[in-house]
Amino acid sequence: MRSGRVREPMLDMIGDTAHMRTDLDRDLDQHLPTVRSAPRDIGSLELIVLRPAEDERVLLEEALLDPARGLDGDDWIRRRSGSTPDRSPDPSSQLTVISTRVLAAIEPDRSRWPLAGDQLYVDFDLSVEHLPAGTRLAIGEAEAEVSAKPHTGCSKFSARFGSDALRWINGPIGRELRMRGINCRIVRGGTVRTGDAIRKLPAGSSSDN
């Protein structure tokens, strides 16, 4: 298995406004037709990113998704959450998935995409209409369920990709299309590999059926 480590340059103060690219004002709406035309039947898994520690990224060609541990080796398992009574890791945000079409619109340099902080990067329609909460997804050998918990952009996203990008993904259309991505929980473990298909499962079914 080949992997590559991507370390952010001097991002220890990433939330500080001094790091935000506030001068950008791109016409990002011109990319909406491309984002909207993402595959709805069968998409593809284009990148797998492991987050072994805060602000560290490791690119993987394959990874194990586990219903208890999340993406094997990822620091989700060590993240304390305000959404659970005992502040244990929140299963509803166990796995995050983002659209490569959105990333291509806001960041032409593909090598910087992992800085978004998500784990699975896919060419697939992630919109609310296509994937309502509770939808099951088959990804490689694994299966995940879309969570109701929204995945929204923050100051880190703005600092890395521009304040205009943050406004775009957090606007009404951005939320409708889930441009920032989706939160999922893993319901069936298995190996996923770059190039694997991602598909929506019929309601009440499993990829075993």
pLDDT, position 84: 57
Annotate 64-78 with DSSP letters as a single string.
EEETTTEETT-GGGG
DSSP state of 119: S
pLDDT, position 186: 97
In a domain, 17, yes or no: no
In a domain, 2, yes or no: no
pLDDT, position 144: 98
**Which string of b and e fits 88-121 if b means at least 16 CB within 10 Å?**
ebbbbbbbbbbbbbbbbbbbeeeeebbbbbbbbb
In a domain, 12, yes or no: no
Q: How confident is the prediction along the chain (209 residues), in pLDDT tens digits per residue? A: 445 544 443 333 333 333 445 556 899 999 999 999 999 999 999 999 999 988 889 999 999 999 999 999 999 988 765 565 666 678 899 999 999 999 999 999 999 999 999 999 999 999 999 999 999 999 999 999 999 999 988 888 998 999 999 999 999 999 999 999 999 999 999 999 999 999 999 987 666 65
Q: Over the stretch 121-154, which tens digit does the pLDDT of each residue have?
A: 999 999 999 999 999 999 999 999 999 999 988 8
pLDDT, position 154: 81
pLDDT, position 4: 54
In a domain, 207, yes or no: no
CATH number for the domain including 84? 2.40.33.20
Angstrom distance (rounded) from CA 194 to CA 171: 30
pLDDT, position 1: 43
- Which domain, by its residues, includes 91? 22-200
Please count the other Cβ atoms lying within 10 Å of the Cβ belonging to residue 149.
16
Contact 28, 179 (CB under 8 A): no
Angstrom distance (rounded) from CA 102 to CA 56: 22
Strands 136-139 and 197-200: antiparallel
In a domain, 3, yes or no: no
pLDDT, position 18: 35
pLDDT, position 14: 30
pLDDT, position 156: 86
Q: Of 10, 31, 47, which is closest to residue 164 (Cα–Cα)?
A: 31
In a domain, 13, yes or no: no
Angstrom distance (rounded) from CA 197 to CA 122: 9
Angstrom distance (rounded) from CA 129 to CA 134: 12
In a domain, 6, yes or no: no
Number of domains, the chain: 1
Q: Over the stretch 19-43, which tens digit does the pLDDT of each residue have?
A: 445 556 899 999 999 999 999 999 9
Contact 191, 64 (CB under 8 A): yes
Start-to-end Cα distance in the chain? 30
In a domain, 56, yes or no: yes
